[in-house]
Structure 1
Amino acid sequence: MNHNLGVQTAGTDRAASPAGVVQVISPHTEEPIAAVDAAGPDDVDNAVAAARAALTAEPWGRTEPSERIATIRRLADIYDQRRAEMANLISTEIGAPISFAQRAQVGLPAFMIRAFCDLAERHQWQETRPGFFGSDVLVRKEAVGVVAAIVPWNMPQFLIVTKLVPALLAGCAVVLKPAPESPLDALLLGEMIDEAGLPPGVVSVLPGDAALGAYLVAHRGVDKVSFTGSTTAGRAVAAACAANLTKVSLELGGKSAALVLDDAAPDKVAAGVRSASLSNSGQICNALTRVLVPQARHDEYVDALAAEMSGLRVGDPSDAKTQLGPLVSRRQQQRVREYIQVGQQEGARLIVGGDGMPDGLDRGWYVQPTLFAAADNAMRIAREEIFGPVITVIPYRDEEEAVQIANDSDYGLAGSVWGNDTERALALASRIHTGTLGINQGYTMDPFAPFGGVKASGYGRELGPEGLDGYLDTKSIAIAPGS
């Protein structure tokens, strides 16, 4: 087992003596793989103070966008050089199959760092407008200040990069708190940030538990909170930010629907839904976990999904052929198994999987990929976020009922419509109340397009120009005529 220093602030690594140790456990072997020194309230105070100093006393707060872009492009080069190391670390840390870790957990962030730089180069940082009363008005975009970024464990690098890089390009300083299940990749990124030459205090990495996150969110020295996590935790974050009038963006849970029209090919739907639902063992916030199919063709779509899911290879995440790895923790494994039991008790038809261990495995936090059919949208498995490899098929009578079922959810993060007629699919998509939708695919997060939810899935947007604007304040400067 490795022991890693766990606090990176003001350009240094040091042990945080009073706050304890974060144990990182392998989801595959159930054995400890690292011990990370946890940060405490004093570390948060120091990190926030260092961030403020970096924006005022140090040069970061006075850099031009072009300088920041050049620095982040250096970071992108360093990231590329260490992609294999990062992918192996994430695979070991959270149990993601190595192929998925290479392609999505690390490949996407590596691409997005450069894409965000491209966005920043095109961004309109200021403009002069003719004022109504004769004055010219200079409208400037300026860094919001000190950002607290709190990320979960499921897609750690992707979620860090989508917060950290736009914030840095905007000219902010960032205090990053990774999840206790996945601190190692964040600390490795911290090393890369130092190597890229960012000034001390611009980025701090503080491993710790939920109590540390709560202290950071409530800190009066924080100007903006960017949080990704559960809806329950998001409500607490929103309340803490409201008390201080701190800006906040929340990307929370989801229970997204795939609305399948009667002309959609079952094999294409099954392949697409499997990919959009079960990647990362279903531990993805925008997974398509409800599949709405025409009642008359219900069994065709169920059979196609069953064929896709029955052949999935579940096992050792370090094996390049593995398609589904373990869940991140014993608690998550127990939670998903309980939902599988609930689905059977509620009367849904269990088609594939169940609450036992996958064949050939006797340890690790694994769950069988599970398919329920003939379900009702009132069932808990159709209403609550499970966050595991569980798909629920719900029949509908007509398109009106399909839209009603899709919208009958507390959540509104993502969704999709599947069919041969794109115009018909788009017409239905416009009636589904979510932040994002895919046509004949799950929603793919694009660095040039905004991502975020409605209802209990949160508010605010990441990615795209809108994501960069989330870390900027707007200032208007009126210039008297003749000046």
Structure 2
Amino acid sequence: MSKLLQTFSPIDGSLYVERPWATATEVAAALERAESARPVWKGTPLAERVAITRRAIAAFAAREEELARELCWMMGRPIRYAPGEIRGFAERAGYMADIAEEALADIHLPDKPGFTRLIRREPLGLALVIAPWNYPYLTAVNAVVPALLAGNCVLLKHSAQTPLCAERMVEAFAEAGLPSGVLQYLHLNHGDTERLIQAEPVRHVAFTGSVAGGAMVERAAAGRFISSGLELGGKDPAYVRADANLGHAVETAIDGAFFNSGQSCCGIERIYVHADLFDAFVEQAVALVGQYRLGRSDDPETTLGPLVRSEAAEFVRGQVREALGQGARAHLDAAAFPLDLPGSAYLAPQVLTGVHHGMRVMSEESFGPVVGIQKVHDDEEALALMNDSPYGLTAAIFSQDEASALALADRVEAGTVFLNRCDYLDPALAWTGVKHSGRGCTLSRVGFEHLTRPKSFHFKTSL
């Protein structure tokens, strides 16, 4: 393997970032610094941890334009949308800072004469956060900020596609006065990342990525009795009931399917529409997708950028070709999107009908700008299809009957079920998945429980 991490921009294939991989000596030094900082940070009053976090948020937000431009070039997000991730980082981090005092407060039990009893949330120690390229700031903030607020030290390892994101986060916290060694980044290849998981000081791993990557984390941590949080694959469904607001359902579900070129963990990848609305939904959906402008991410007029690399685009092309060979119908002409060329990272959006679960495009994660739309006749058929997946991150229902939607949502196998929206993360709610979409939880009050351990105090105060 090369001694250098190299990031090639999907915009034009140019070399955008080059960094040396961390050496074994540098990894050992980072672990030593974290171990030295750990008792100091644990003993830092929560109010001070919160204040440092708020200053870091401000320092980060002040660089919005620069950070958005870097994001655009590293992973291909259209520049018109890239600033939204910087603002989302500030929103999530700010919310976790807001609730930290309450979420981390001691649990005092009812009075018992002669005894003091309480449960305290203790930090785990050193958390390793492994973040992906598709939402590099939003996925990282979910674990980094609550881990720090809870009194943990953090090592941050970002994807080789977005290495500057790790550097910028550490810079913001350093500017805010975070003590040395509490938050560090390391540029690591896959083998060195696996070895780091096995390092004794690491007591928690927060990983966002593929199912195969999550399996690697579990193998590497086996026998160490450390905790892990895994956000893995998804094939998130949407169901449009007969009573849905059609215009709203089309606009929302299509945005959920094609934003970020479909490269979203909780993006909509399959849509089930009641027969009463099916034809109208497809007609309006195709018209809407046809308005997307595929182009360079640095062009402010672009609404659909390239995929992260050409191999990813070829994977989706293969799914579409296979589906067409199995009887699916494509509703958009790739020729209308001139940048879509064989071997290119630029991929035209596509809407497919005549699909079924025997097609990979309806069962295997696509992570690209394609969505299959399937006709259903009632809630039971839709529910069976929504749950017919090895994944379960989010699901969306479109309906004007909240009671019926809630009854249906209770039977959907997913970590989050939306009504009349999708592809959104509310930091007040637990972010979690089921089945192959992962385990554990980030954000909300519940998220703090996964970054701490309970310690009970049972004092007999009268003798």
| In structure 2, distance between residues paired with 1:272 and 1:245 | 42
Residue by residue over 1:141-181, the C-alpha shift from the partner in whole angstroms, topping out at 9 and shown as x without a partner, is 11111001001100001111111111100010001110011
CA distance in 1, matches of 2:154, 2:336: 41
Equivalent residue in structure 1 for 2:219, among 228, 239, 244: 239
Q: CA deviation at 1:352?
A: 2.0
Q: Is the 8 A contact 1:28 1:364 kept in 2?
A: no
1:307 corresponds to which residue?
A: 287
**Residue 74 of structure 1 aligns to which amino acid in structure 2?**
R
8 A Cα contact 2:150 2:452, kept in partner = yes
Q: Tell me if 1:45 matches 2:24.
A: no
How far the C-alpha of 1:130 sits from its partner, in A, is 3.8
The answer to whether the 8 Å contact 1:75/1:196 transfers is yes
Question: What residue in structure 2 maps to residue 129 of structure 1?
Answer: 109
Q: Per the alignment, in what secondary structure is the counterpart of residue 201 of structure 1?
A: coil
Does the C-alpha gap of structure 1 residues 19 and 128 become closer, same or farther in structure 2, counting only changes over 3 Å?
farther
- 1:89 to 2:70 alignment: yes
Amino acid at match of 1:276: G
**CA deviation map 1:326-376 (0-9, x unaligned):** 11112212212211212212221111255x793256696111111111211
Deviation at 1:131, TM superposition (A): 7.2
Unaligned 5+ runs, structure 2: none
Residue 449 of structure 1 corresponds to which residue in structure 2?
429
SS at match of 1:254: coil
Work out the CA distance in 2 between the residues paired with 1:49 and 1:86: 30
- Matching residue's letter, 2:270: R
C-alpha separation between the residues in 1 aligned to 2:448 and 2:386? 30
After superposition, the C-alpha distances for 1:7-27 in whole angstroms (9 at most, x for unaligned) are xxxxxxxxxxx9711111110
**What root-mean-square deviation, in Å, do the aligned CA atoms of Structure 1 and Structure 2 show?**
1.9
Which secondary structure state, in structure 2, belongs to the residue aligned with residue 244 of structure 1?
coil
Distance in 2 of aligned mates of 1:23 and 1:124:
40
The Cα shift of 1:239 comes to 2.4
Question: Against the structure 1 CA distance between its residues 22 and 357, is the aligned structure 2 distance closer, same or farther, given a 3 Å change threshold?
Answer: farther
Partner of 1:418: 398
**2:96 counterpart of 1:116:** yes
CA change 1:138–1:468 in 2 (3 A) is same
Cα displacement string for residues 359-395 of structure 1 (whole angstroms, at most 9, x for unaligned residues): 2566961111111112112321111001111111112
Matched-pair identity in %: 32
Deviation, 1:80, is 1.7
Alignment equivalent of 1:298, drawn from 278, 281, 286: 278
* 1:143 paired residue among 92, 106, 123: 123
- The match for 2:262 is 282
Write the distance in 1 (CA, Å) between the matches of 2:391 and 2:408: 18
Answer yes or no: is the 8 Å Cα contact 2:61–2:86 preserved in 1.
Answer: no
Q: 1:479 to 1:309 in 2, by over 3 A?
A: same
After TM superposition, the structure 1 = structure 2 runs for residues 466-477 of structure 1, keeping only pairs within 5 Å, are 466-477=446-457
Q: What is the aligned counterpart of 2:195 among 206, 212, 215? A: 215
Alignment map for 1:94-105 (pairs within 5 Å): 94-103=75-84, 105=85
Q: Find the counterpart in structure 1 of residue 47 from structure 2.
A: 66
User: Residue 338 of structure 2 is aligned with which of 359, 368, 382?
Assistant: 359
Instruction: Supply the distance in 2 between the matched residues of 1:60 and 1:54 (Cα, whole angstroms).
Output: 6
Contact kept in structure 1, 2:167 and 2:185, CA below 8 Å? yes
Paired with 1:229 and 1:125, the residues of 2 have a C-alpha distance of 32
* Aligned residue number for residue 5 of structure 2: 22
Residue of structure 1 equivalent to 2:37: 54
Residue 233 of structure 2 aligns with which residue? 253
Name the residue aligned to 2:170.
190
- Structure 2 CA distance, aligned partners of 1:470 and 1:389? 34
Determine whether 1:32 maps to 2:15: yes
Q: Match for 1:62: what amino acid?
A: G
Aligned to 2:242: 262
| Alpha-carbon distance between aligned partners in 1 of 2:276 and 2:25, rounded to the nearest angstrom | 62
Deviation at 1:293, TM superposition (A): 1.0
Structure 1 runs of 4+ with >6 Å offset: none
Q: Which moved more, 1:319-328 or 1:248-257?
A: 319-328
With normalisation by structure 1, the TM-score equals 0.92
**Counterparts of 1:358-437 in structure 2 under 5 Å?**
358-360=337-339, 365-437=345-417
Q: 2:133 matched to 1:166? A: no
C-alpha displacement of 1:247:
0.5
Q: Separation in 1 of the partners of 2:375 and 2:299?
A: 37
Q: How big is the shift at 1:463?
A: 1.0
Deviates more, 1:125-134 or 1:429-438: 125-134
Give the deviation of 1:218 after TM superposition. Answer: 2.2
* CA–CA separation in structure 2 for the residues paired with 1:353 and 1:243: 53
On the 8 A contact 2:339/2:346 being kept in 1, the answer is: no
SS of 1:98's equivalent in the other structure is coil
Where does structure 1 lack aligned partners over 5 or more consecutive residues? 1-17
2:89 counterpart letter in structure 1:
P
SS of residue in 2 equivalent to 1:243:
coil
TM-score, reference length from structure 2: 0.95
Distance change in 2, residues 1:302/1:361 (3 Å): closer
How much has 1:50 moved relative to structure 2? 1.5
Query: Which residue identity does 2:285 align to in structure 1?
Result: L
Inter-partner Cα distance in structure 1 for 2:458 and 2:446: 25
Q: Which amino acid aligns with 1:359?
A: P
* Superposed displacement of residue 92, structure 1: 1.0
Q: Is the 8 A contact 2:294 2:339 kept in 1?
A: no
